Structure 1
Amino acid sequence: MSPRPFTVAMIAGMPYPMTKASCIRVGHLVHNLVNEFEDVTVKLFAYCGSEEPPRSDERVQYHLVAGFDADKRKYYSWSGKLRADVGIVRRLIAQRRSIDVIHCHTIEGLGIALAFKACTFSSAPICMDVHGPVVPELVHYGLIPDWRPVLAIVTALERAMLSFVRHAFVSNDGLRQLMLERAPKCPVSVVYDYVDPAAFDTTRVDQSRISVLRRQYKPGSECLLTYVGMFKDYQGVDFLIRAFAVLSGRHPSLRLLLIGDGPCRADYQALIDANGLADRVHLPGLVPHRDVVNWLEISDIVVSPRIDNEITRAGFVSQMPEYMAAGKLIVATAVSGCSFLLRDGAGILVAPNDEQALVDGIEGALALGSEARRAMVDRAMRNVMQFTWQQGIVEVYRVYCELMGSDRT
């Protein structure tokens, strides 16, 4: 007898879809669950995102609520979030009879899940995707003050909320250790930000789109140095801009392409202007995730300049597997899982928080001959082929089955 079908309520306290690492992770989970396991249906609850939402079908249903302002200046504010969270709780209540398992994302998603359970007395077990260290991120984004009594209260609240979680998923080993300290009785599984290699195969690029991008950004066969990600201070883009200011004088054909957006955009623009780089640095803004493969195709070197701090030690560079699957030459700081992914010479690793280290690493990449470059890219490709969502999603499914009991027939 085949297993009884079951429904997962995927609660994402964030805009969806949106070109943001946490949202992309949610999308990968949903897509791979229904593709790999015929007995799973997913109902996704989130805020309306900045992109056109996908259509619901028999296996995936989207419950997206309005009322959240995704403007980067207002993204991290309690008022916008709480209004939308109430809307998500209402949608969950309406679907309560069909929910077998709850998979919430971030501490906010857990808050929504607990509110739903309090309103309905649902017996659905909760598993949680922990995207980062909770208290440091709340301080970092100005949602709570960095004041010891407040930190103690929030930490205690976090522990109390985590006591309702039956299983936690984290994207890296540093975050796993943090979870074991915060909730020692909660089982934890490491489910990395894997990659779908087929999505970044060069055969998937849009040649007409590539032609447009080349005409705009490489009209004279310029060499493109590219960063893809959010503009947040811990991403180290300011270090990359200062490193580029040094490199630009030595390499007239070098251009810097910064794809993304976020709260630090104005600071980065001011730094670009102060160094006289306005005609050498391009900021096209956020692009749809499905279009990233085309931007990577025109790039010569991709860079991850992330700094080392309390947040990044419990983080993961989710773009890195995509860079590797796209066959790009990579320069990265040795933080947030990059040392593991780029092991065995699969990329050029440099010290974090050091613009001169970035200068030296990029110079090394520019100096590589074609054979050495190809060998490095091939090593990266071999590493990332052991890092696919098709492999990683198995652990998520196993946990669901365990939480519902071994006999689901």
Structure 2
Amino acid sequence: MAIAHAMTRILHILDHSLPLHSGYTFRTRAILKAQQALGLDVRGITGLRHGEQGASPEVVDALTFHRTPGKAQGPAGLKEWREIGALADAIMALAQDWRPDILHAHSPALDGLAAVRAGKTLGIPVVYEIRAFWEDAAVGNLATHEGSIKYRLTRQLENMAVSCADAVMTICKGLKDDLVARGVSPAKIGIMPNGVDLTMFGTPAPRDAALAQELGMGDGPVIGFIGSFYDYEGLDDLIAAMPLLLERHGDARLLLVGGGPMAEALEAHAKASPAAHAIRFTGRVPHGEVERYYALTDVMAYPRKCSRLTDLVTPLKPLEAMAQMKLVAASNVGGHRELVTHADTGMLFPPDDAAACAASLADLLDRRDDWDAMRQRGKTHVRDNHDWHRNAQRYLSVYQRLLGGASNTPDSVAA
């Protein structure tokens, strides 16, 4: 079977999907759109955590998503096992009619284990793609702590999914290296880096003077963050950096767009800051309006704290910022080092250090003559290394091995 033939069917097994908006759903959309452009027939199916019991199938942005009916109940452990069973049953029911050639599951591990269960019953090969380790994400969201029983059990589920899948993909080198350290053969693991659909980023939007006036942004440089307000994002350090930044650039402003678990604490922190007059919160804005807020910024800042999550996982936002010709300043954690080359495509500063963050931002604002060249290098880096339509071809060799009858042992799957 030719892998680029339209009849090659790939079923993506997902935690949640469009029409919900998140980094997870936008990555999924980009993957499915790029695979369609390569001639593959793709669909998605979501587990019980999608939450919305809408139509099934549901077509969003010309993409088809099936839903898993029902609701899992029970104590911790049993509830998750029931989720796996419900999703596996839904996959098998769909396969009776649509008959996929590959089951491509995306983290968390519940999706991978459901795909493995269904794949073994149906005789269909399984690819398991890890976007982050679920146990580390829970630590980052302050839902548990490293080494807890919950942490260790979740890690074991991840190991089971990796062990049972026919091929594994990760979004970055950090995650692959961690799996190899656990004893997984590197030949079993491929990398599909985070990317940007460059067809969605044309000429950057012009600055909206009315919006700038409404927000009181002034005429000075604007530091921005657009995303979810989680503790690991380090936005408290960015707020703490503002009084120091104002000592060198008194007309600078900080624009924080979004919301999340830390929103209330961050707003209180900003209100108590001597730089309170220079910090603006907008709350969440509709996805279609985000470009207007990007257009107000000069530098996008990503001050992530140092942790296993941020060292191992590459975020999407810095790539989107570079694609939109924005300067990027980011903390020097492993996930950022895979995306940003210091003083070339952006600036890196020590994590968990407000003074270092302020100094880096001030130095970048001092180098206005270098801005155009740095912006161009950033966009070129994204185009050459993180274009979804180019990188999606990496899946093809993995699919071809699995469909071509090659042994599904770790050493036979493309790295």
TM-score with structure 2 setting the length: 0.82
Matched, 1:126 2:143: no
Distance, in Å, in 2 between the alignment partners of 1:308 and 1:288 is 30
Change (3 A) 1:43 1:219: closer
Structure 2, unaligned stretches of length 5 or more? 407-415
Which residue number corresponds to residue 361 of structure 2?
Answer: 362
Residue in structure 2 matched with residue 62 of structure 1 by the alignment: 65
The equivalent residue for 1:404 is: 403
Match of 2:311 in 1: 313
Counterpart residue number, 1:12 = 14
Q: Which residue of 2 aligns with 1:99?
A: 100
Partner of 1:226: 224
Question: Deviation per CA, 1:56-78, whole angstroms, max 9, x where unpaired?
Answer: 2897311246889xxxxxxxx99
Q: Which amino acid aligns with 1:357?
A: A
Determine if contact 2:13/2:45 at 8 Å carries over to the other structure.
Answer: yes
Mapped partners of 2:220, 2:53: distance in 1: 31
- 2:337 is paired with a residue of what secondary structure? helix
How many pairs are equivalent? 393
Mark the CA change 1:210 to 1:323 in structure 2 (over 3 Å): closer, same or farther. same
Offset, 1:235? 1.1
Q: Which runs of 5+ in 1 are unaligned?
A: 69-76
- Report the secondary structure of 1:306's partner residue: coil
- Which stretch shifts more, 182-191 or 296-305? 182-191
Change (3 A) 1:372 1:34: same
Note the alpha carbon deviations across 1:381-405, whole angstroms, 9 max, x for none.
2222212112210011321222122
- Provide, for residues 90-145 of structure 1, a one-character-per-residue CA deviation record: whole Å limited to 9, x for no partner: 54233122222111111132133245457xx1222111111223433344546566
Question: What SS is found at the alignment partner of 1:124?
Answer: coil
Q: Which moved more, 1:170-179 or 1:261-270?
A: 261-270
User: Corresponding residue for 1:25?
Assistant: 27
Relative to structure 1, the CA distance from residue 169 to residue 148 in structure 2 (aligned partners, 3 Å threshold; closer, same or farther) is same
Preserved CA contact (<8 Å) 1:7 1:41: yes
1:333 is aligned, of 325, 331, 334, to 331
Quote the sequence identity (%): 21
Could you tell me which residue of structure 1 aligns to residue 384 of structure 2?
386
The 10-residue stretch of structure 1 (260-269 or 187-196) with the greater mean CA deviation from structure 2: 260-269
- State the match for 1:190 in structure 2: 191
Instruction: Give the counterpart letter for 1:196 in structure 2.
Output: D
Q: 2:42 corresponds to which residue?
A: 41
Partner Cα separation in structure 2 for residue 250 and residue 65 of structure 1: 55
Give the structure-1-normalised TM-score: 0.83
Question: Given the superposition, is the C-alpha separation of residues 197 and 15 from structure 1 closer, same or farther in structure 2, using an over 3 Å criterion?
Answer: closer
| Superposition CA RMSD, Å | 3.6
Please state how far the C-alpha of 1:156 moved relative to its aligned partner: 3.8
1:87, distance to aligned residue in structure 2 (A): 6.1
Q: Is contact 2:198–2:323 with CA below 8 Å preserved after alignment? A: yes
Q: Which letter does structure 1 place at the counterpart of 2:303?
A: P
